[in-house]
Amino acid sequence: MKLNELTYTSGSRRKELRVGRGMGSKGKQCGRGMNGQTKHNGAGPHPGFEGGQLPLYRAIPKFGFSNRNRKEYAIVNVKDLEDKFENGSVVSPEDLINANIIKKTLAGIKVLGGAKMTKKLTVRASKFSSSAKSAIEEAGGTVEVID
């Protein structure tokens, strides 16, 4: 078989419709009807147009607000510290990234509680929840707030 011998299977290709070439084919209006906003190529209503009725996107009230000054903190749970670090170690933001607990520090690191601590750790972070602070200090560790 050669490239010049390749053909399409019958029925797989359709002849292009030649519009506007006289009354024998799709002549005069080219299948678009008489007058109106869909008469010309590219014409027609914009998305969301409802025939002159007030569109839904304008009728529904707008709620909410987004705070541009919001600070997003990287979240660390006490359970993750318990699992990943040895007893007596110092936990810094770099150590958390190296241990794959967080990907980036973002605006800072916040440590959340919710679990018991048995290891004595020195944890350095931007913020601590009250339960995390008490869990670390009950285990004999210390809490250091950094910026």
Tell me, what CATH number does 133's domain have?
3.100.10.10
DSSP string, 13-46: --PPP-BSS-TTSB-TTTTS-SSSTTSSTT-SPP
Q: Is residue 115 part of a domain?
A: yes
pLDDT digits (tens, 9 = 90+) for 18-46: 999 998 889 889 888 888 888 888 888 88
pLDDT digits (tens, 9 = 90+) for 70-90: 999 999 999 999 989 999 999
pLDDT digits (tens, 9 = 90+) for 113-141: 988 899 999 999 999 999 999 999 999 99
Q: Is residue 67 part of a domain?
A: no
CB contact at 8 A, 139 and 117:
yes
Nearest to 108 by CA among 143, 147, 142, 78: 147
The number of folded domains in the chain is 1
Distance between CA atoms of 42 and 6, rounded to whole angstroms? 37
The predicted pLDDT at position 39 comes to: 87
Q: Is residue 108 part of a domain?
A: yes
Question: Mean pLDDT, to the nearest integer, of 10-17?
Answer: 92
- Please give the residue range of the domain that contains residue 95: 74-145
Is residue 134 classed as helix, strand or coil in its secondary structure? Answer: helix
Q: pTM higher than 0.85, yes or no?
A: no
Q: Is residue 50 part of a domain?
A: no
